[in-house]
Structure 1
Amino acid sequence: MIKHFATKLIAWHGKDGRQGLPWQSIRDPYAVWVSEIMLQQTQVATVLERYPRFMKRFPNVKRLAAAPVDDVLAEWAGLGYYTRARNLHACAKQVMLEFGGKFPEDPMLLEQLKGIGRSTAGAIAAFAFHERAPILDANVKRILARLFGVDGAIQEKAVNEELWSLAKTLLPKNSSDMPVYTQALMDFGATWCTSRKPVCLSGERKCPFEKECQANLSDQVLLLPRKVIKAKSPEFNCDMLLLRHGDSVLLQRRPDKAIWGGLWSLPESAWRSKEKLSKLSVSNSAAFTAKELFQLVLPDEKTASVLKSFQFIEQGVEIKHIFTHRRLWMQIWHVTSSDAVKFSSDNLKWVPLRQLGKYGLPQPIKLLLQGLSLTRGDGLRN
C-alpha cells in the first residue's frame, strides 16, 4: 500500500475528488496561504462564500500588511477563531519585512511565520511550490490511523510522530504531483474517510483502499483514531451593556489574548460560573440596578456621570453562544443616555449604527446589533 498509495489516491481524486474550488489550481503562495488559514476550523461552504470577498479586498500580501488590523477583523467577522485573522495580519507584515514581500519556498522557513504550523507550511509548499512536503491535519491523521491501524490517541507525542513519518513516506515521487496529491488527501478525509459516516460502512461506494485498510479489516473503522474523552465544557454567565446615545452605540475593544481578541463588542462583566446566581435582578429598583450594572461592566470608569445621563434601563434578551471549549450566556441590558458620555479608556468608543459594518464584531453581537440597525433603517447589512 505504501508503494501505490499516492497513485491510487490521485486516481481516486480524478474521479471522485472535489473540483472547481476557487483556491484550486493556483500557485500564488499568498492566495494558497489565505485559503489554508481560512479553511482551518471553518466549513468549506462558508469559505466558498467568504474567500473571494477577502481576496477582493486584500488581493496581495502588500495590501493586507498595509491594512489596519480593524479592517482585517471586520472582513473576518463571522468566521470565528479570530486569532487566525490577527495572525494573518501579523504574518503579512512579517513577509513584507523579512522576505521582501515574497513567501519562502522552504517549509521550515514558512513554519517560522506567524500562525503557520508544520502542516499548513507543508500545504503552502506543496500547492504553491510543488515541494515534496507532507501535511498532517485532522483529516489526514484519521486516514493514516485507519489505513495503517495506528493505535493510541493521536494527541500522544509518539503517535503523532509515527503519523508524520507515515505522511512523509507516502509522498509521491514526482514533485509535480504534489498539488493534486495534497488536495486529494484533504478531500478523501473530508468526503469519504469521514469521522462518523465513512463510505466503507455505507456500502454505497467502494473505497479504493478497502482491501488494505487495517481498520476495515479488523472492524475498527469507527474506533480509529483513538480519541481522548473530553471533559464537559464549562458554562458561564455575563452581563452586557447595550448603551445607546442617539444613533450611536458604545463599543469596547476586547484584549488581544481574550476570546474574540481584538474585536469590538459590547462592554461586559467578568464571566461567572453558571452555577452562581447573577448579581443583577430585575426585582431591583432601576437606579440600583443601573449602578451595579455599570460597576460590573465598567469597573475602571467613573459611573457618576453615566448614571446622571442615563434615561432608562431595560433587561433584554439572553444570548447563548457555544465556543469550542466553553458555553456562554450573555444577558443584554438596554440603556439609553442623554449625553455622549466621555470615557477615560481608549478602548471605549461611540460608534454610529451606520458605521458598524466597518468594525470587526463577534457574530452574536453583530446579529444583535444588525437587528437594531435594520429596525432603525441604518447600516450593518454586509
Structure 2
Amino acid sequence: MSEALIKHFAKKLIAWHGLDGRRGLPWQSVRDPYAVWVSEIMLQQTQVATVLERYPRFMKRFPTVNKLAAAPLDDVLAEWAGLGYYTRARNLHACANQVIKEFGGNFPRDPILLEQLKGIGRSTAGAIAAFAFHERAPILDANVKRILARLFGIEGAIQEKSVNDQLWLLAQELLPKSPTDMPVYTQALMDFGATWCTSRKPVCMSGTKKCPFAKACQANLSDQVLLLPRKPIKAKSPEFDCDMLLLRHGNSVLLQKRPEKAIWGGLWSLPESVWRAKEKNLASHSEKAKVNLTAKELFKLVLPNQKTLTTLKASEPIKPGSEIKHVFTHRRLWMQIWHVSSSSATPFSGADFKWVSLHQLGKYGLPQPIKVLLQGLSLTRDDDLKN
C-alpha cells in the first residue's frame, strides 16, 4: 500500500478538479441538505443527462422537505415517471415524512443518523454530510470503488464483504484533513470516476490526457486497468410473458394501481395477467390461436377477482395490439397488449381501479412503456378529433 499516495491523494484530486472537474451541474455548490439529498437519490442508477432535465423540475414542484412530505405519493410518483427504479421515489416520500416527524424538518448532520433514514445508505449519507455539513464522511459508490480498486490494485470482487470493508477503510483514510475541503473533494471524487477513471474508456488508455495518478496506480503499472475491479459473472436474465388489457370507454382507459412491493410498485398501469416464463421459439401472441380468446376469457385472465365482470360487455371484438419488450435490471418482460372497447364505464371493486381520461394521464405515475403507449393513443385520438 503506497503511503505517499494515501498522504497526497486528496490534495492531488482537488487540484485535478480545479482544472478538469465538471462545471455547471445544477446541484453543484448546493449546501441545502434537502437539495443535496434529492440530487444524490436521483443520480443513483440514472444518467446525468436525464437528471439535468428532471432535477430542476422536481425541485420546482417540491422545493422543500415539507412540500414533499405533504404531497400525495401519487403526485411524487407522477413526477418521477420515466426515471425508473420507483422504490427511490417511494423512499423519498417516506424519508421526507420521517425527517419531519423525527427531526423537526431538519436533516441531521451526523452520517450515522442520516443512514437511519429511509432509502439512505452509507455512501449517500456520507455525500449529504460532506456536501451540506462539511463532515469528514467518506463515500463509496460504484465509481469510487473502481478508482480505489485500480489505484491500490485490489484484486478481489468488490461484492465480497472483506473487499468492501477494505475499500471503506481506504475511503476513510484518503479524506482530506480539513473539513472545509470536503465538498470539493467529494465532488472531485465523483467527477474523476464519471469522466476520467471510467469503466471502459479511462483516459490512461487513450493517451489524450495524463492521469495525475498514473505513476502510482497499481492497475496502470501492472497493465490491469480494464481488469480491475473484478466483475462477477452475471447470470442470464430470466424472460417472461404477460397479457395486458387496454380497456377503453370513450376517451377513458381503465388503470390499476400496482402493489407497493411489486415491480413498478405504487404506479398505475394496465391490468395484467400473471407473469409466466417466456416460451422459446414461438410466434408472438397475436399470431397464436390465443387471438381467438373471448372478452370474457381475457377479463378472467387479467382481472380474476372482479365479480362485476359478468356485467361487462365488449362492444367490439378483441384486437391484438403491439407486443412491448421492456428490460429491467434483472429480467426481461414481453407485454402483449389487447385492445377492448366497452359500451359502459363499468365500476370495479377496490380503490386500485380507476377510469382515467387520456388527457389526465399526466397526473398519474405510469411505468414508462405504458406511458409511451397511452400517450400514443392520446395523440391518435386527438388527430381523429381534428379530422
Does the alignment reach a TM-score above 0.5?
yes
Alignment of 1:50-61 (within 5 A): 50-61=54-65
Report the alpha carbon displacement of residue 258 of structure 1 after superposing the two structures with TM.
Answer: 0.7
8 Å CA contact 2:321–2:338 kept in 1: the answer is yes
**Is 1:267 the counterpart of 2:271 in the alignment?**
yes
Moved more, 167-176 or 280-289: 280-289
Report the alpha carbon displacement of residue 377 of structure 1 after superposing the two structures with TM.
Answer: 2.3
**Is 1:315 the counterpart of 2:313 in the alignment?**
no
Question: Structure 1 pair 283/272, CA: closer, same or farther in 2 (3 Å)?
Answer: closer
Match of 2:376 in 1: 371
Match of 1:227 in 2: 231
Match of 1:197 in 2: 201
CA distance in structure 2 between the partners assigned to 1:223 and 1:162 by the alignment: 19
Report the alpha carbon displacement of residue 282 of structure 1 after superposing the two structures with TM.
Answer: 5.6
Match of 2:310 in 1: 304
**Is 1:325 the counterpart of 2:316 in the alignment?**
no
Match of 1:246 in 2: 250
**Is 1:93 the counterpart of 2:97 in the alignment?**
yes
1:66-91 deviations in whole A, cap 9, x for unaligned?
Answer: 00000000000000000000000000
Report the alpha carbon displacement of residue 203 of structure 1 after superposing the two structures with TM.
Answer: 0.6
Alignment of 1:276-355 (within 5 A): 284=289, 288-302=293-307, 303-306=309-312, 308-355=313-360
Match of 2:169 in 1: 165
8 Å CA contact 2:111–2:125 kept in 1: the answer is yes
SS at the partner of 1:312? Answer: coil
SS at the partner of 1:226? Answer: coil
Match of 1:132 in 2: 136
Question: Structure 1 pair 174/309, CA: closer, same or farther in 2 (3 Å)?
Answer: same
CA distance in structure 2 between the partners assigned to 1:371 and 1:287 by the alignment: 26
CA distance in structure 1 between the partners assigned to 2:104 and 2:35 by the alignment: 17
Question: Structure 1 pair 174/211, CA: closer, same or farther in 2 (3 Å)?
Answer: same
Considering only aligned residues, what root-mean-square deviation do their CA atoms show, in Å? 1.5
**Is 1:105 the counterpart of 2:109 in the alignment?**
yes
Question: Structure 1 pair 214/286, CA: closer, same or farther in 2 (3 Å)?
Answer: closer
CA distance in structure 2 between the partners assigned to 1:314 and 1:377 by the alignment: 21
CA distance in structure 2 between the partners assigned to 1:245 and 1:146 by the alignment: 59
Moved more, 124-133 or 311-320: 311-320
CA distance in structure 1 between the partners assigned to 2:290 and 2:114 by the alignment: 59
Match of 1:188 in 2: 192
Match of 1:30 in 2: 34
8 Å CA contact 1:133–1:168 kept in 2: the answer is yes
Q: Any gaps of 5 or more consecutive residues in structure 2?
A: none
CA distance in structure 2 between the partners assigned to 1:79 and 1:336 by the alignment: 31
- In the alignment of these two chains, the number of paired residues is 377
> One-letter code of the match for 2:374?
L
1:320-340 deviations in whole A, cap 9, x for unaligned?
Answer: 110000011100000000000
8 Å CA contact 1:119–1:136 kept in 2: the answer is yes
Report the alpha carbon displacement of residue 26 of structure 1 after superposing the two structures with TM.
Answer: 1.1
8 Å CA contact 2:10–2:175 kept in 1: the answer is yes
**Is 1:176 the counterpart of 2:180 in the alignment?**
yes
> Identity over the aligned pairs, expressed in percent?
80
SS at the partner of 1:4? Answer: helix
Report the alpha carbon displacement of residue 345 of structure 1 after superposing the two structures with TM.
Answer: 2.2
CA distance in structure 2 between the partners assigned to 1:281 and 1:358 by the alignment: 32
8 Å CA contact 2:284–2:323 kept in 1: the answer is no
1:146-197 deviations in whole A, cap 9, x for unaligned?
Answer: 0000111000000000000000000000000000000000000010000111
> One-letter code of the match for 2:42?
M
**Is 1:43 the counterpart of 2:50 in the alignment?**
no
> One-letter code of the match for 1:373?
S
Moved more, 157-166 or 341-350: 341-350
